Structure 1
Amino acid sequence: MTLPSTRVRKVRRLRFSIGLFVVLFAAGGAGFYWWKHAQPQLPAGISWGNGRLEADEIDIDTKFPGRIAELGVDIGDMVTAGQLVGRMDTRDLQESLKKAQAQVKQAQHAIEEASANLEQQRTQQTLAAQELDRTQALLKNGWATKELFDQRKQALDGVNAGLSAATNRVAETERALEASEHDVGLYTVNINDNDLVAPRDGRIQYRIANIGEVLPAGGKVFTMLDISYVYMDIYLPAPESGKIKVGTEGRILLDAYPNSPIPAKVSFIASQAQFTPKTVETKSERDKLMFRIRVRIDPDRSRVHAASVRSGLPGVAYLRADPSVAWPKDLQGPP
């Protein structure tokens, strides 16, 4: 019995679909098999995890409220530790400094006057003491009256009081000079603190404010990357992270430089497990609880290759828990 033409077409389509599915499935399986065996096989004792290369971000902030007067760098510029990158308007502090310096001169002049007065009081004390001694000798021989002796004694007492006051006046003017000098030092420090300097070697990542803007105390002007602290955070499950220790040797292989493994060491291991971030892929397709491990590149190596440091570059970090295991050839890297 002959099947209707429409039914024949349906059967042919079904057979074609099944055949196509089988071919695609076989091709996919073969491709996966090739990819699996084409990848370098890691020996036992070496763990890996993917992440992104990061560098510590440092904010360059204002210490005092004020207006930005100068900016010496821009986004992407390399800076060195201590380099001046900007300056705040310090005209008000400059005037206060001049006032304090004038007060220092005034205090120095006051000390000179007080010292001269003290010397005068000492001279008068010497004279009054000598007159009292002579009067006392004359009184014993009956050549001076008791009244004259009392007058000499009162004069000496007055001179002693004046000497004490003059001494205190010198000490007071010296303290005033010291306070004025402290004011000069304070204004000088505040003026210097209005210079914005780079605390570390690195690259300017962001410029947040511009010349002429008024910022509060702590206002951000730049954000820079500290190229001496470059690292990658990866996440490993407990069975693997338990074998890793601080100081464990590692290699970082960036997607941008697949043939240049970077020597590194473990600098931090989280004490508590956490859920794996969504951006992290794991061997078991997102193990629920993982331990964060920080793999840091040697600071000297980071400085040498400062121009190549880019925050956010994806890659893979390999950790050798067993020092007796040799690194695969493609992960040996430079000495």
Structure 2
Amino acid sequence: MFSVVLIAIAVGLGVWWYPRAPARIVWQGYAEADYVKVGPTQQGLLTAVNVVRGSEVEIGAPLFVQDETADRAARDQAARQLQQARDQLANLESAGKPTEIDQAEANLADARATVERTKVDLDRAQSLIRDGAVTVQTLDQRRADFRSATARVAAMEAALAQARAPMGRQGEIKAQRAAVEAAQAALEMAEWRLSQRRVCSPVRGRVADVLARPGETMAAGAPVVSLLPPGNIFVRFFVPEAYLARIHRGDAVRLNCDRCRAGISARVSFVSPQAEYTPPVIYSEESRAKLVYMIEARPQPEDALLFNPGQPVTVAPAAEVRQP
């Protein structure tokens, strides 16, 4: 009997002295998300919401519509003002009427014919004066007629050039071109404001919440739809101060949750520089009432879909970390 007791004591001592496996390091946390809250760029009446909570949307999918009556009228007004400015510029840059140009060309042709006739008369008078057939006064008159006809040709050429030239002065044309550019910019602004009344999704993700309904007047920037892209889901967990020096931004960790597949990995994206008390939602007997540091880790987008914001998650280091 005594030997049995000795054997039992020896076995107990052996078990007690046998090296124990180190306790598994597990940190408590939960899933969190950065939501994309989409709102209008300008105040207006909400007339339609095209999505429901929980639906999946792609980039460019319509989300909601505001009343666009005033913006449509402003766009039409800007378009008409632009057309008016362009017409005024075309009028300043255009030449005279076709009938005025035809008349100027006809006057020039008549003046040139007169020059030819007076030139012939002058040449004849110069040849006849040697024989005394014409007087000096007649020769002087032929010369005056030729000079007058030549001057009239120059005047008719100037009149034709004026008829063919733009009606406005260069300064007037330059100013009108600036007016056209200003009207074009006003039209582009009106079209942009009109396009903002129909808001589309800037990201791909799930509709987390619809925050307004048709009939409400929304202020500029007020959120109407809250979106949750897969890449915006992350895990927030808390690590005791003793492990803080072993965790760095970019380190790999393993995530585990109820009914999740094994081997989900994530990368540490943020390490809080300030200590805090263990949040009341984290239940851990080892870290209760101790100071901890908040850590954030982001899984791959395809793995992030496995988590829902607020879901409890356990986190373990991917590399071996010994108990301090």
Q: Do they fold alike, i.e. is TM over 0.5?
A: yes
Deviations 1:301-330 (A, max 9, x none): 43xxx4x4422111211123449x9xxxxx
TM-score w.r.t. length of structure 1: 0.65
Counting aligned pairs with the same residue, the percent is: 22
Secondary structure at 1:85 match in 2: strand
CA distances 1:262-288 after superposition (whole Å, capped 9, x unpaired): 221111111222222221234534243
Give the direction of change, closer, same or farther, for the CA distance of 1:94–1:185 in structure 2 (3 Å limit).
same
Q: Where does structure 1 differ by over 6 angstroms across 4 or more consecutive aligned residues?
A: 162-165
CA distance in 2, matches of 1:290, 1:119: 88
Q: CA offsets per residue over residues 146-191 of structure 1, 9 Å max, x none? A: xx9xxx9xx9xxx9xx999711111111111111111111111112
CA drift of 1:98 comes to 0.5
Q: 1:52 touches 1:312 (CA, 8 Å); kept in 2?
A: yes
Q: Which range moves more in the overlay, 277-286 or 223-232?
A: 277-286
- 1:241–1:109 CA distance, 2 compared to 1 (3 A): same
* 1:317 aligned residue (315, 318, 324): 315
Corresponding residue to 1:67 among 42, 45, 57: 45
Contact residue 244 and residue 321 of structure 1 kept, 8 A = no
* AA matched with 2:249: V
Q: 1-side partners of 2:282 and 2:319: how far apart?
A: 21
Which of 67, 87, 91 aligns to 1:113? It is 91
Q: Where do 1:227-238 residues align within 5 Å? A: 227-238=230-241
Give secondary structure in 2 for the equivalent of 1:53.
Answer: strand
Q: Which runs of structure 2 are paired with 1:27-46 in the superposition (5 Å)?
A: none
Q: Please give the alpha-carbon distance, in whole angstroms, between the structure 1 residues aligned to 2:96 and 2:222.
A: 53
Q: Which residue is equivalent to 1:136?
A: none
* Match 1:179 to one of 177, 182, 185: 182
**Residue aligned with 1:284, SS:** coil
Q: How many residues align?
A: 252
Which has more radius of gyration? 2
Aligned with residue 241 of structure 1, among 241, 244, 247? 244
**AA in 1 matched with 2:39:** D
Choose from 196, 199, 215 the match for 1:212. Answer: 215
Shift of 1:294: 0.4
Counterpart amino acid of residue 311 in structure 2: L
Q: Secondary structure at the match of 1:241?
A: helix
Residue type of the alignment partner of 1:183:
A
Distance 1:165 1:265, change over 3 A: same
Output the CA distance in 2 between the equivalents of 1:289 and 1:274: 5
Where does residue 6 of structure 1 map in the other structure? none
**Alpha-carbon deviations, 1:199-251, whole Å to 9, x = none?**
22211111111112111112221112121122111111122121011111111
Q: Which letter does structure 1 place at the counterpart of 2:223?
A: K
After superposition, the C-alpha distances for 1:43-76 in whole angstroms (9 at most, x for unaligned) are 67x7431121122111111111101122111011
What are the ranges of 5 or more consecutive residues in structure 1 without an aligned counterpart?
1-40, 128-142, 326-335
CA distance in 1, matches of 2:260, 2:75: 58
1:254–1:261 contact (8 Å) kept in structure 2: no
- Counterpart contact for 2:92–2:168, Cα < 8 Å: no
- Secondary structure of residue in 2 paired with 1:102: helix
1:209–1:222 CA contact under 8 A, matched in 2 = yes
TM-score calculated relative to the size of structure 2: 0.67
Structural mapping, 1:121-270, within 5 Å = 166-255=169-258, 257=259, 259-270=261-272
1:6-59 Cα distance to aligned partner (Å, 9 max, x none): xxxxxxxxxxxxxxxxxxxxxxxxxxxxxxxxxxx9867x74311211221111
RMSD: 3.4
Relative to structure 1, the CA distance from residue 85 to residue 280 in structure 2 (aligned partners, 3 Å threshold; closer, same or farther) is: same
Please tell me the residue identity of whatever aligns with 1:220. Answer: P
Distance 2:254 2:260 in 1: 12
What does residue 330 of structure 1 align with?
A: none
Give the equivalent residue in structure 2 for 1:298: 300
Contact 1:241/1:291 (8 A) holds in 2: yes
Gaps of 5+ in 2: 1-19, 109-143
Q: Could you tell me how far 1:298 is from its partner in structure 2?
A: 1.2
In structure 2, distance between residues paired with 1:192 and 1:88: 10
Taking the aligned partners of 1:42 and 1:74, their CA distance within structure 2 comes to: 52
- Partner residue of 1:286? 288
